[in-house]
Amino acid sequence: MKKIFYYSALCLAIAAGSSCSKIDNDAAPSSTITGSTIDEGTGQTVQTEIGSGGTRVKLLETSYSANPVPIYFQSKQDGTFENTKVFAATYKVSVEGPFVPIVQTDNTGALLSDSSQNIVLKNTANLNFKVQPFLRVEWVGKPVVNADNSVTVQVRVTRGTANPNYVSDITDINLYVSNTQYDGSNNYDPRYSKLTSYSGSTGTALLGQVITLTTTGGSLPAQDVYFRVGARINAGLNEYNYNTPVLAAHQ
Amino acid sequence: MKKYKILLLAICLLTGFSACRKLDIPPKNIIQDPDVFGSPGGITAYMARIYSELPIEDFRYTPDMGLNFFWIIKPTSATTGEALSRDQTGSSSENFNDWHWDVWGGNYTTIHDCDYFIETLPKYASTFSAAQINAWLGEAYFIRGMTYFALVKRFGGVPIVNKVLNYTPGSSVTDLNVARASEQAVWDQVASDFDFAIANLPASNADNSDGSRANKYVAAAFKSRAMLYAGSIAKYNTITLFDGSKNQLCGIPASAAASYFQKAYDAAKLLDGAYSLYLSGWSATDKNAQYQNFVNLFSDAASKENVFVREYQYPNSVHGYDAYYVPRQLMGPNGYSSEVNPTLDFVEKFDGIPKNTNGTIKTLDANGNYLLFNNTMDIFANAEPRLRATVILPGDVFKGQNIEIRRGIYTGSASSGIGPLLPAGSKSQYPTTNLVVSSNSGQTAYTLPDGTLMNPAGLSGIFTGDQTCAISGFSVRKWLNPNLATSQVLENNETQTWIEMRYAEVLLNKAEAAIELQSLGQTSGISVSDPATIVNQIRSRAGANPLTGLATIDTVRAERRKELAFENKTYWDLKRWRIFNKEQNGTIYRVLMPFFSSQAGKYFFDQRTDERNDVYTYDSRWYYEQIPGGAISKSNNIIQNPGY
């Protein structure tokens, strides 16, 4: 009886030891996709926000299926993107964000244009997408600290596209205040940020003008503070276009 | 050893020759179709289950925890701006990722159960009368229509599965991977299911005539709600998604709007004369009677306003509405309270409150000093009765107690008036000088100049250190049971009936559809004064000021939000009007803080933004919810909605 026990224990030990020796896994993804979303009018990258409300890259693995489930990754705030953990494969790549879509359809679903890029990814690929942002937000001068330690900034908002489907009225122009550079509609200090919504064409009338915005809530804290202005039209998922965050501090 | 061999052979022979004789008998431990469909009792049991699966947002629903879940501490009303809650700190989509709500599989199980019933019942037609068969089929179509409605309002176009799908071993599963239909096709499916129900259901359900089971008017009422939703999508939605075959999965062509609004109007009209607004205790001249009438409307089982209800019964089917939502001073033994605190923005929608020209409540005099009141209820002395029946105002009476809501005691000088504690619009904390507050309900009384003692905060708050109190200055009143002893205010212990559809909504559906039709130039058969007449019916019952002139889309929508507040309806209205992202656009909701001035011996009110600075920003993606990943990984015919 005891013998049987030892034999079976040995068998179990062998089985346990051997069954793990063959790892049935693919190698971890190790290819890299880098690139940027570039405003075709200015040549600069299109600023966006971090998180799900900003630009993202869409990968379709077309060799696997004609109708693949898309894979997404988010762009960085400055409009560049990098993913170092992508499987080497065949991809149709596009970007989605606050700009005229890369893949455009009309109101019946018929394809109008598609400037997605097809790549066979092996090691690395660098992809630049030329797009037309809905709006361009530029700084006019630097933020000015006022006597009461509030801050006034000036910006100019212009359209980045003449495409008639994406020139609806401006709905919001917001001055975001944050204690980090990751400043945007999903990360700002509500005590000081100045949010303005527009109805009808009142916001659109500000296009091309120098717009002066001052923080609310009185004195800002005496620490590094980042400022950024976001503006949007009612298009797609109502994402914001931004200028670059700038740092201003008093004392 | 030999003995065993013989025994083994014997066993083989015995089992081998005899056992196969009759294996093909129905298993005794599984209920078979004849058991269910062969008797009215079996069908009642089947009905009980599919009714219990009916996806309605009742006392056991919150966007965060889904349908049919007891823990409702992130209330729907705290996602819409109707209220603030300590557990809800911003805008929210529905959360389908938790284990307790399988929105996709669950609803398709219900649809399968309806399909199975619709396919199987006719085989037993000889057992029942034609009237019985029609009525039961009508109910199954009604429930299937409701379920498609629940899916399409969340996801847009979803697969339409109107037959039981069976997998035969060896066959391909491709046929079972039904693709998403266009959004318009699903709304049309909802309409056709309700149409079948309207045509086949009796005017009164013989089994349960109290509104807990469908009759033809119930189906018509929900058809009006669904078609109004579809019309609103066609008119206001801007998000589109097409599949490879140009089916529009999200969005409906604007040209279809008028036909949906017309269907909503016609369906609502079917209820004319069959139901009526609840006026049992109402009096044209007595505001208190109007208040009590509006309170009773939610508990009187005989109300002719109840179109469709869901009943609860202890201990089989219960909820915990009171346990979570009573004011702090009436907290039950579980230790929950005041999860729903109506915002000042909501309260200001009502009549009978002193207001500034910009519509905000008037709390300052001409010199910019606070108005002083002897009691906190004085400012609400002329408030619309419906407001009192919806919201517990500071100092109002509930369960025989004054619900005491006070932010603190102001000890500064009052001789030349009290100026605002903070500059207008400030989002800062209140100053600490001249202010005595309590951090929690364990209070130290303050000695007033006349020697009497007063707690800095009221019994129901507001406390600075915890939020188990009326954080907005108000507490919810609607649906609370005034007769429930505090010892019984427990989770999973309440049994108030949920009124999912009441006639007031049907009237408001009709008014809204009429105005939308007029705006689209479709005016045949609709009088221009119809919507105003309806709004005034609702307002007169509510004790509100009558509307003068014609109703606009804004007046009808405003009336709807007041009348149906805290009934989990506003969430869907804000969605279908596509104004959620405009209302919640970096929004901080406003609150009304009552203070007692020790020097003046009177109360004053400070209006400000939510002290927690909780920002509400609705993400436009949420108009079409994210399809659960599990549904997509099971079938690559299911295309995800935009932005996810």
What fold is seen in the domain A31-131?
Immunoglobulin-like (2.60.40)
Indicate yes or no: CB of A190 within 8 angstroms of CB of B613. yes
What is the DSSP secondary-structure string of B86-145?
Answer: TTB-S-------STT--HHHHHHHHHHHHHHHHHHGGGGGGGS-HHHHHHHHHHHHHHHH
Using the Cβ of B586 and the Cβ atoms of chain A, whether some distance falls under 8 Å is answered with yes
Residue B202, domain CATH = 1.25.40.390
Quote the mean pLDDT of chain B. Answer: 93
Percentage of residues of chain B with pLDDT beyond 70? 96
CA nearest B416: which of B450, B370, B356? B370
- H or E stretch covering A231: strand A225-233
- H or E stretch covering B590: strand B590-597
pLDDT, tens digit (0-9, with 9 covering 90-100), for B488-547: 999 999 999 999 999 999 999 999 999 999 999 988 788 888 999 999 999 999 999 999
Percentage of residues of chain A with pLDDT beyond 90? 74
Nearest to A67 among B427, B617, B636 (CB): B636
pLDDT, tens digit (0-9, with 9 covering 90-100), for B588-614: 999 999 999 999 999 999 999 999 999
- All residues at 6 or more sequence positions from A122 whose CB lies less than 8 Å from its CB, including other chains: A31, A88
pLDDT above 80 for A25: no
What does the alpha-carbon distance between residue B531 and residue B201 come to, in Å, rounded to a whole number? 29
Indicate yes or no: CB of B617 within 8 angstroms of CB of A109. no
pLDDT of residue B102: 87
Measured between beta carbons, which residues in chain A are less than 8 angstroms from residue B246? 108-110
**Confidence label for B393 from pLDDT (cuts 50, 70 and 90):** very high
Check: complex ipTM more than 0.90: no
* Mean pLDDT for the stretch of residues A58-70: 89
Indicate yes or no: CB of B246 within 8 angstroms of CB of A236. no
pLDDT above 70 for A10: no
Indicate yes or no: CB of A52 within 8 angstroms of CB of B243. no
**Confidence label for A251 from pLDDT (cuts 50, 70 and 90):** low
pLDDT above 80 for A5: no
**Confidence label for B4 from pLDDT (cuts 50, 70 and 90):** low
pLDDT above 90 for A13: no
Does the residue B323 lie in any domain? no
- All residues at 6 or more sequence positions from B469 whose CB lies less than 8 Å from its CB, including other chains: B328, B337, B338, B441, B457, B460, B461, B462, B463
From chain A residues 143-172, the ones with a CB under 8 A of any chain B CB are 171-172
User: 10 Å Cβ neighbour count for A138?
Assistant: 14
Query: What three-state secondary structure class fits A131?
Result: strand
* Mean pLDDT for the stretch of residues B243-249: 92
Burial of B234 (0-12, 13-18, 19+ CB in 10 A): buried
pLDDT above 70 for B31: yes
Q: What is the 3-state secondary structure (H, E, C) of A194-227?
A: EEEECCCCCCHHHCCCEEEEECCCCCCCCCCEEE
If one compares B630 and B112, the residue with the highest pLDDT of the two is B112
pLDDT above 90 for B572: yes
pLDDT above 60 for B402: yes
To probe the interface with A, which of B578, B590, B619 has the most A CB atoms within 10 Å? Answer: B619
What does the alpha-carbon distance between residue B528 and residue B626 come to, in Å, rounded to a whole number? 40
Measured between beta carbons, which residues in chain A are less than 8 angstroms from residue B244? 67
Residue ranges of alpha helices (H) inside B427-566 are 503-519, 530-542, 553-563
Does the residue B494 lie in any domain? no
pLDDT above 70 for B20: no
pLDDT above 90 for A106: no
CA nearest B320: which of B470, B493, B527? B493
Percentage of residues of chain A with pLDDT beyond 70? 90
pLDDT of residue B173: 83
Percentage of residues of chain B with pLDDT beyond 90? 86
Does the residue B318 lie in any domain? no
- Burial call B27-56: b when 16+ CB within 10 Å, e when fewer: eeeeeeeeebbeeeebbeebbeebbebbbb
pLDDT above 70 for B296: yes
* Residues found in chain A: 251
Does the residue B244 lie in any domain? yes
Using the Cβ of A197 and the Cβ atoms of chain B, whether some distance falls under 8 Å is answered with yes
pLDDT above 90 for B10: no
pLDDT of residue A26: 79
pLDDT above 60 for A222: yes
* Mean pLDDT for the stretch of residues B137-159: 97
pLDDT above 70 for B474: yes
To probe the interface with B, which of A175, A177, A185, A238 has the most B CB atoms within 10 Å? Answer: A238
Nearest-Cα residue of chain A relative to residue B643: A237
- H or E stretch covering B583: helix B580-583
Using the Cβ of B335 and the Cβ atoms of chain A, whether some distance falls under 8 Å is answered with no
Using the Cβ of A109 and the Cβ atoms of chain B, whether some distance falls under 8 Å is answered with yes
pLDDT above 70 for A46: yes
pLDDT of residue B210: 83
CA nearest A113: which of A100, A126, A128, A97? A100
CA nearest A167: which of A159, A175, A177? A159
pLDDT above 70 for B11: no
CA nearest B79: which of B473, B466, B614, B641? B614
Does the residue B417 lie in any domain? no
Indicate yes or no: CB of B242 within 8 angstroms of CB of A68. no
Give the Cα-Cα-Cα angle B234, B240, B246 (nearest 5 degrees).
Answer: 100
Q: Poorest-confidence range of A1-10, B236-245, B449-458?
A: A1-10
- Domain of B252 in residue numbering reads as 33-60+102-167+174-272+624-634
What fold is seen in the domain A135-248?
Immunoglobulin-like (2.60.40)
If one compares B442 and B171, the residue with the highest pLDDT of the two is B442
**Confidence label for A20 from pLDDT (cuts 50, 70 and 90):** low
Helices B183-200 and B257-269: crossing angle, nearest 10°? Answer: 20
pLDDT, tens digit (0-9, with 9 covering 90-100), for B49-92: 999 999 999 999 999 999 999 999 999 999 999 999 999 999 99
User: 10 Å Cβ neighbour count for B503?
Assistant: 22
* Mean pLDDT for the stretch of residues B299-323: 95
pLDDT, tens digit (0-9, with 9 covering 90-100), for B426-439: 999 999 999 999 99
What does the alpha-carbon distance between residue A127 and residue A132 come to, in Å, rounded to a whole number? 16
**Confidence label for A155 from pLDDT (cuts 50, 70 and 90):** very high
Task: Count interface pairs A-B at CB distance under 8 A.
Answer: 67
* Mean pLDDT for the stretch of residues B168-197: 93
- Can you tell me which residue has the tokens 């469709």? B308
How do the domains of chain A map onto residue ranges?
Answer: 31-131, 135-248
Give how many domains chain B has, as a whole number.
1
Using the Cβ of B443 and the Cβ atoms of chain A, whether some distance falls under 8 Å is answered with no
- Contact (Cβ atoms closer than 8 angstroms) between residue B320 and residue B331: no
- All residues at 6 or more sequence positions from B188 whose CB lies less than 8 Å from its CB, including other chains: none
DSSP lists the bridge partners of residue B236 as: none
pLDDT above 80 for B23: no
Query: What three-state secondary structure class fits B475?
Result: strand
pLDDT of residue B59: 96
pLDDT of residue B5: 65
